[in-house]
Amino acid sequence: MLYRRLGRTDLQVSAISLGTMTWGEQNTEAEAHAQLDLAVAAGVTLIDAAEMYPVPPKAETQGLTERYLGSWLAKPGNRARVVVATKAAGPVRQAHQPKHVRGGTTSLDRANLTAALDASLKRLQTDHVDLYQLHWPDRSTNTFGRLAYPWIEDASTVPIEETLGVLADFISAGKVRAIGVSNETPWGLSRFVSAADTRKLPRIASIQNPYSLLNRTYEIGLAEFAHREQIGLLAYSPLAFGVLSGKYRGGARPPGSRLALYERFARYSNAQAQRASERYVALAAERGLDPSQLALAYVLAKPFTTSVIIGATTIPQLRINLASIDVRLDDALVAAIEAIHTDQPNPAP
């Protein structure tokens, strides 16, 4: 395993993180614990959860993911072995965003963030979170697959400076060690950086955004922030909901797979994404590589990537994904990847 510094903090995290959003929906508590045991044995230290999980978000399952992680953390010695990350849900501004979390009042203000953090700590059975993240912005913007800026004037939003001040108090109280954002834009990230610098507030250490062979929009505006402000990318959906694993080739929908179970996960399965995926999977086969490992190794090698968040519903899948840490892509293979990208750039943003 490789380890990298999280932003400008003193935290070192594994280059591969374990994602958890299937726990409580597609995975049982025992299966979640088995995944944790395997990942930690392989050197994974960063575990990423959210108060909203599992997905698809439902009132009857909300919080189960953190509970499953919490019961594992409560076992002797486990808490000290990992860096625990979780996320506070943002306000409901799009139809797909959950209305049941904290009664639907999920603005990023003091009352709501305090309630969110305290509930997460209780479910996680710990007195602090190592990385506390804002799951999405407290404003209408182009997130979760929306490419065009929506041009919506929100009735109200919590100023970034106010939110950052609340997070600063969490750090002072010892409940949080570092803070991060997720599904954020260049404008939003610039405001967090500016507020930290001008108001002597804590700096954002990380940004958790989508990044994969099918969605490299992060490179366009956010990658420069990662470089110049030392804000690390925690890349989510590096396999594009499993599309880049090759298991959905030719329109296949294996029983029990995410795309077979849930129609809402269509972000990476449009026609152009399918065509690009076929080419990436074929390229992996030509080079004798597992397609998942090709896709993960590409993201791992990017200089702005701090950690790649992998998720799996089965132990064999998890073993394949973990082994990507040992895969190196030579110049010729990277050139072939870039050729596909040039021909079909960002088919599933």
Q: Is 218 a catalytic residue?
A: no
Q: Which residue has the tokens 């959003």?
A: 21
Q: What are phi and psi of 132, to 5 degrees?
A: -110, 125
The span from the CA of 169 to the CA of 137, in Å, is 19
Q: At what angle do helices 160-172 and 186-199 cross, to 10 degrees?
A: 60
Q: Any long-range contacts for 222-225 (C-beta under 8 Å, 24+ apart)?
A: 222/184, 222/185, 222/186, 222/189, 223/304, 225/186, 225/189, 225/190, 225/193
And the tokens for 264? 């809402």
Question: What is the Cα 153 distance to its own chain's centre?
Answer: 27
Per-residue CA distances from 118 to 23, 62, 85, 135 (Å): 21, 15, 14, 16
Helical spans, DSSP H, in the chain: 29-41, 64-73, 110-124, 160-172, 186-199, 218-229, 258-261, 271-286, 291-300, 315-322, 331-343
Q: Which residues of 99-136 are buried (b: 16+ CB within 10 A; e: fewer)?
A: eebbeeebbbbeebbebbbebbbebbbbebbbbbbbbb
And the tokens for 218? 């992060």
53, 68, 211, 248: which one is catalytic?
53
Q: How does DSSP assign 323-347, residue by residue?
A: GGGG----HHHHHHHHHHHHHS--S
Contact 137, 90 (CB under 8 A): yes
DSSP 202: P
Please report, as a single letter, which amino acid is at residue 127.
Answer: D
Q: Which residues are catalytic?
A: 53
